[in-house]
Amino acid sequence: MIKVKSIKIAFVGMIVFLSLGSSASSFNLRMAHPGIYDVYIDGQVFTVRGNQLELNHLNPGIMEIQIVRHSRDPRRNPRAASRLVFREMIRIPAHTRIQARFGRQGMDIDYMPLRRNHPTQCVVETKPYTSPVYGMHSQDFDRLMFDLDQTAFDQTKISIARAAIRNNGITTDQMAIILESVSFDSRRLELAKYAYQYCVDPMNYYQLAGTFTFDSNARRLMQYIG
């Protein structure tokens, strides 16, 4: 299970009353990495600015959940402005508190019954977004992204990222998020070339073409990886 580190960043929680009923449940979603997200649940969209979404009075059933992550500065990199990071069907049992935690490796869900006079039991499900491809551990990656977000200069960011990638490896999805934090296209290209040798799913590395502002840099990366 992904264990989310406590990060002292202000966030805006949302409490939304969807529908009332005697069998209603509640759903709490916490993001491992704070940011700007649109969460689509059963056709409704909720915007999260921070790392938490709270929904109360949900009717039981099977619902689709989609999570779209938005760039903090879409003007800098319009192609990476919005990105679908999770899509899956989830089960909403009656009279249940659902605690969900979304991180780089997918979503962990705890089901905690709310019925009175019954002992509380916890059932855990894991909803991976993709087939297992192990790069940097989710906790290490979340810490890396926190450090990069606190760093102003690209040169320093690249030095930090290089060390982390060299010691831990990287997935293409993780690399796309790292490149989003780098301001200048030329620096993105430099880091993407360096990280290729440490990528655990190099067959997907072509997907990074969309992280560049200029087509010329995307072409240079494609030529580099052959």
Give whole-number Cα distances, 21 to 11, 26, 41, in Å.
Answer: 29, 12, 18
Kindly state whether residues 20 and 85 are assigned to the same domain. Answer: yes
Instruction: Report if residue 1 sits inside a domain.
Output: no
Q: What SS3 state is found at 217? A: helix
- Domain membership of residue 7 (yes or no) is no
* Distance from C-alpha of 115 to C-alpha of 218, rounded to nearest angstrom: 55
Indicate whether 184 and 214 sit together in one domain: yes
Is 9 domain-assigned? no
* Domains in the chain, number: 2
Do 111 and 209 share a domain, yes or no? no
Q: What is the DSSP letter of 66?
A: E
In this structure, is residue 10 part of a structural domain? Answer: no
Nearest in space to 168 (alpha carbons), one of 209, 198, 205, 202: 198
Question: Cα separation of 111 and 95, whole Å?
Answer: 10
Q: Are both 81 and 146 inside the same structural domain?
A: no
Same domain, 23 and 120: yes
Q: Domain range holding 63?
A: 15-127
Domain check: are 114 and 150 in the same one? no
Same domain, 115 and 159: no
Of 75, 96, 127, which residue sits at a domain end?
127
Tens-of-pLDDT digits for all 226 residues of the chain?
A: 333 333 333 333 333 334 444 568 899 998 887 778 899 998 889 988 877 899 988 888 888 899 988 876 555 554 456 788 888 888 888 888 999 988 877 888 888 887 554 444 444 444 544 444 567 887 888 889 888 988 889 999 999 999 999 999 998 888 988 998 898 999 999 999 999 999 988 998 998 988 898 999 999 999 999 8
**21 and 115 part of one domain:** yes
